[in-house]
Structure 1
Amino acid sequence: MPMHRLPSVLAPASISLPFNRLVVFGDSYSDTGHNFNLTQGKFPPSPPYDKKYSNGPVWCEYLAKNLGLTLENYAEGGATTDNNFVQGHTSPANLPVNGIYQQIQKVYLPTNPSTASTALYALFSSGNDFHVDKLLSANHSALNLLRAVSLLRSSLPTARHFLLFRSADLGNLPYFHPQAAGLFHHPFRSTLERGVATTVSARFNENLNAYTREYKQKNPEIELTVFETDKLFSGLDKQGEKHGFQNVKQQCVALDGRRFVPQGEIASHFYWDSVHVTTKGHELLAGEVAKALGEVYEGKA
């Protein structure tokens, strides 16, 4: 089995990893150009976007490069956890996109993948479910992700390595900052108040932890890592400058491409628009995910 070592700058020790591929399912936080192509280059508007929902590479691109993994990306901006629960769309064209479950079921599995045993499967949902059913969705959304893992496992019995993400506190998004008011329609605006967004995030995380614990107990042969996105993002309030961020509250651009921050100041901002982070933010996220993987796989490869 191929072993790949974590660079020492990303992990506390040089750790061998039992996978050489990173297979990603998700939404706009992971989309590396799907929606740009789907909308024939119209969205996200590039520039200032980089054909994805940021101003440069996103976390999975950084992670794959840093760890020497082959990236296979099926993420679609606007995706929910499962279209049978909530249908996802890409804004502003309102075109339907595959949910995470459908990305696996309808797009990935039909390719007849033969390298499941040496793949790390990452499923990243950043909250598109939550504009429907509010608190109810926090339970279903977490369960949907485990159902997606189960689909991979039942279809690819040799699949062993999985990565899920806790939700950042959605109430802390710049979307709720006055600067973002009225700039661009987003489902959070009409259906979630800031406090409810925070509650939904916390409820989702509680459910995800509970479901993953239960799943791992029933499937001890797999390695299922849950990354604490919430702790990383919230920790920047106090440690932002340590990572080179002077501003961790306000966005640089609107979703329609209007700029708020001079080009020279973008590198000091964590958030790119009212929902997504800058490429520097993605680089930080990738580095922390790499460290988490190093801690999980130390001595196991």
Structure 2
Amino acid sequence: MVSTRHVLAGICLAVFTHVASAAALLSHYSQLVFFGDSLSDNGNIYALSGGQFPPAPYWNGRFSNGPVAAETMANALGLSLSDYAYGGAKTGPDALGHDNYRWDLGLDGTGLPNQVGMFAASLGAGSADANALYGIWGGANDYFEAGLTPPESVANLIGVVGDLYALGARNFFLPNLPDLGLTAEFLGTPLQGQMSFISQSFNTLLSASLMQLQLALPDASIVAFDTFNFMRAAIDTPADFGLTNVTDACLDSLACVLDPAVQDQYLFWDGVHPTTAAHERLGLAFAQAVAVPEPASLALFAFAIVLLGLQRCDQRGVRFDRPSVCEEGLAG
């Protein structure tokens, strides 16, 4: 019997093909504004360090070998990107302290709430663009060091949404965590089970909290993306995603580091960060989740959402501003 996850992988591949063939997805947003950590940082730490961190072979300040998902998402939607994400950022005001780079670079003020503060400062006396889409993606760094629990992390993210809403933002996009236990850093280690459990706990609580927040903010649009199952689909059926290695870090292989063609076959650039090839696939899926589907893709997109709802109620691309397949019970 073919599992839902394997069918989902085929749907994802079809969506990628459709998106890649279009100049831009239909979007009613005016711009994309992103907050987060190293998964979304497009050069902020690099600029703060005077071009010293992250070092080569990391690419142009990204924690990868090329552009990150937020950049691909913006390009696919035909939107400009304002990126406030900082590598090492936590959901609170703090940042990772490993290797002492936090203090050397002055990163104590680069957590997600502080990123919103930077954004607020850029507005002056004005309000946030109500027609923009605001991406908020974080949480993993809360668990790479002893620190926050999932309830604390999720509360921080909900607070970030609330702060942006108070500034005038109305459209929000929040991916959940990938399965940290399946990253190259933790796979096959004693911490694998713990990191997977933390990821699942965080994601379950985030989904429930976003549903509650949507009820409290009826004029807002909140879209959640299931990164957890997206990553698992890539690991289960790597060929469908154009990948051959979903377990190892490219940086651990000289052959991979020296050959861009080999890099494109890897899921992980280092222990926890995706390659730009993986970022591209993820960014296209991000864009598809928030885009206005073109008529030819409506049936395909709806079928994908139903499959995801059958798999779990923490599905990819859930819009909390309208009934979900979970709320409708798939009963019609």
- Classify the TM-score, shorter chain: 0.7 to 0.9
Give the match's secondary structure for 1:250: strand
Give CA deviations for 1:64-95 in whole Å, capped at 9, x if unaligned.
11111010010000000112xx5444756233
Give CA deviations for 1:23-79 in whole Å, capped at 9, x if unaligned.
000000000111112222222112343321011111111111111101001000000
Distance 1:38 1:260 in 2: 31
Among 123, 136, 141, the alignment partner of 1:123 is: 136
Distance 1:102 1:196 in 2: 29
Tell me the CA shift for residue 266 of structure 1.
Answer: 1.0
In structure 2, the residue matched to 1:150 is 162
Q: Is the 8 A contact 1:88 1:99 kept in 2?
A: no
In structure 2, the residue matched to 1:290 is 287
Distance 1:274 1:8, change over 3 A: closer
In structure 2, the residue matched to 1:103 is 115
Tell me the CA shift for residue 243 of structure 1.
Answer: 1.5
In structure 2, the residue matched to 1:42 is 52
Give the match's secondary structure for 1:61: helix
Distance 1:114 1:266 in 2: 42
Tell me the CA shift for residue 238 of structure 1.
Answer: 2.2
In structure 1, the residue matched to 2:150 is 138
For structure 2, the 5+ residue unaligned runs are 1-14, 292-300, 302-317, 323-332
Is 1:9 aligned to residue 18 of structure 2?
yes
Distance 1:177 1:207, change over 3 A: closer
Q: Is the 8 A contact 1:7 1:67 kept in 2?
A: no
Distance 1:259 1:43 in 2: 21
Among 64, 86, 102, the alignment partner of 1:94 is: 102
Is 1:270 aligned to residue 267 of structure 2?
yes
The residue identity in structure 2 corresponding to 1:232 is F
Give me the identity figure in percent. 30
Q: Is the 8 A contact 1:33 1:52 kept in 2?
A: yes
Q: Is the 8 A contact 2:25 2:287 kept in 1?
A: no
In structure 2, the residue matched to 1:188 is none
Q: Is the 8 A contact 1:253 1:260 kept in 2?
A: no
Tell me the CA shift for residue 8 of structure 1.
Answer: 8.7
Distance 2:174 2:38 in 1: 15
Mapping of 1:106-255 within 5 angstroms?
A: 107-112=118-123, 114=127, 116-133=129-146, 137-156=149-168, 159-177=169-187, 193-253=191-251
Distance 1:229 1:293 in 2: 14
Distance 1:193 1:78 in 2: 20
Q: Is the 8 A contact 1:174 1:249 kept in 2?
A: yes
Distance 1:90 1:102, change over 3 A: farther
Distance 2:59 2:219 in 1: 41
Distance 2:139 2:27 in 1: 26
Give the match's secondary structure for 1:237: helix
Give the match's secondary structure for 1:94: helix
| Aligned alpha-carbon RMSD (Å) | 2.8
Q: Is the 8 A contact 2:266 2:275 kept in 1?
A: yes
TM-score with structure 1 setting the length:
0.82
Distance 1:90 1:121, change over 3 A: farther
Tell me the CA shift for residue 142 of structure 1.
Answer: 1.0
Q: Is the 8 A contact 1:29 1:126 kept in 2?
A: no
In structure 2, the residue matched to 1:3 is none
Task: Indicate the structure with greater helix content.
Answer: 2
Distance 1:48 1:32 in 2: 11
Q: Is the 8 A contact 1:81 1:100 kept in 2?
A: yes
Q: Is the 8 A contact 1:24 1:75 kept in 2?
A: yes
Q: How many residues align?
A: 272
Is 1:72 aligned to residue 72 of structure 2?
no
TM-score with structure 2 setting the length:
0.75
The residue identity in structure 2 corresponding to 1:285 is L
Distance 1:139 1:288 in 2: 27
Q: Is the 8 A contact 1:35 1:77 kept in 2?
A: yes
Give the match's secondary structure for 1:248: strand
Tell me the CA shift for residue 201 of structure 1.
Answer: 0.5
The residue identity in structure 1 corresponding to 2:249 is Q
